[in-house]
């Protein structure tokens, strides 16, 4: 039986510290997992140390008899250690470069940084508004379903006997229009969508009341 299973680090091993160097395993690293204690290691660390890092494990390397003497610690300095101006884990490096300015007549999208012609009201890539004040100032189109919701709601109220059919259709078209308006600022017609929603609910209620009355009268007539 082999002392270790060699494999590429998977999601289960990702982020686990190597038993020798304590550095976390990254996805796809060459890894070695001890078959005796399941201890994770970098494969290079396992090979260089000739075994498992867990003390007492059957796969741990044999202790050498010629252990070098530990040197005496250096005397502490009476002066305080210099303070680095950089946060822990960061080092001084080259300053970050500012993004290159767009060509003449062009601008960049504030969200996805895609180059656009100056005056483009909405980015075609991410649908973000490009105006400095964050408001859409371009032309608006009626959202799909806004007009249909209003028409269905009106017809459902006028022909109330059809409200149980036209009312739900008006509500569905209104919700579709409102969803399109929330996704794309170039769409308008929110007022018509709201009116269609209200009329659809009214026509549905009137249609249900009419149907209940009609069925009740029909059953009474059959009873006589």
- Give tens-digit pLDDT for 70-101: 666 666 666 666 665 555 555 555 556 666 77
End-to-end alpha carbon distance in the chain: 92
| pTM summary value | 0.45
**Cα 41 from Cα 20, distance rounded (Å):** 7
Do the domain assignments include residue 131? Answer: yes
Q: Are residues 125 and 196 located together in one domain of the fold? A: no
pLDDT confidence of residue 161: 85
Q: Are residues 161 and 211 located together in one domain of the fold? A: yes
DSSP string, 128-194: -B-STTS---S--EEPTTHHHHHHHHHHHHHTGGGHHHHHHHHHHHHHHHHHHHHH-TTEE-HHHHH
**Whether pLDDT at 196 is above 70:** yes
**Cα 166 from Cα 160, distance rounded (Å):** 9
Do the domain assignments include residue 187? Answer: yes
For residues 90-118, give the mean pLDDT. Answer: 75
Strands 40-42, 106-108: pairing kind:
unpaired
pLDDT confidence of residue 100: 74
**Residue 72 to residues 64, 69, 75, 78, Cα–Cα distance (Å):** 21, 9, 9, 18
Q: Are residues 215 and 160 located together in one domain of the fold? A: yes
Q: Are residues 145 and 179 located together in one domain of the fold? A: yes
What's the number of domains the chain is made of?
3
**Cα 72 from Cα 169, distance rounded (Å):** 86
Q: Are residues 204 and 154 located together in one domain of the fold? A: yes
pLDDT category of residue 57 using cuts at 50, 70 and 90: confident
Q: Are residues 171 and 200 located together in one domain of the fold? A: yes
Question: Residue 120: which domain range?
Answer: 107-138
Q: What is the pLDDT of residues 31-51, one digit of tens each?
A: 888 888 888 888 889 888 888
Q: Are residues 134 and 161 located together in one domain of the fold? A: no
Last residue of a domain, one of 85, 118, 138: 138
Q: Are residues 132 and 157 located together in one domain of the fold? A: no
Last residue of a domain, one of 117, 138, 159: 138
**Cα 46 from Cα 39, distance rounded (Å):** 11
Last residue of a domain, one of 90, 120, 138: 138
Q: Are residues 150 and 203 located together in one domain of the fold? A: yes
């Amino acid at each position: 039986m082999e002392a270790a299973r060699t494999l590429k680090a998977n999601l289960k091993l990702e982020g686990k510290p190597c038993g020798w160097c304590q550095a976390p395993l990254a996805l796809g690293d060459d890894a070695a997992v001890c078959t005796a204690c399941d201890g994770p290691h970098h494969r290079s660390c396992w090979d260089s140390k000739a075994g498992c890092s867990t003390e007492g494990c059957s796969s741990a390397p044999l202790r050498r008899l010629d252990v070098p003497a530990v040197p005496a610690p250096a005397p502490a300095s009476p002066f305080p250690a210099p303070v680095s101006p950089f946060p822990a884990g960061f080092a001084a490096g080259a300053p970050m470069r500012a993004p290159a300015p767009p060509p003449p007549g062009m601008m960049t999208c504030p969200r996805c940084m895609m180059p656009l012609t100056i005056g483009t009201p909405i980015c075609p890539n991410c649908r973000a508004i490009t105006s400095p004040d964050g408001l859409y100032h371009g032309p608006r189109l009626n959202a799909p379903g806004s007009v249909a919701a209003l028409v269905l709601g009106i017809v459902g109220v006028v022909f109330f006997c059809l409200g149980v059919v036209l009312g739900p259709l008006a509500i569905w078209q209104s919700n579709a229009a409102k969803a399109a308006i929330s996704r794309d600022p170039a769409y308008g017609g929110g007022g018509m969508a709201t009116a269609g929603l209200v009329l659809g609910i009214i026509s549905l209620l009137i249609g249900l009341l009419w149907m209940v009355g009609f069925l009740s009268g029909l059953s009474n007539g059959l009873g006589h």
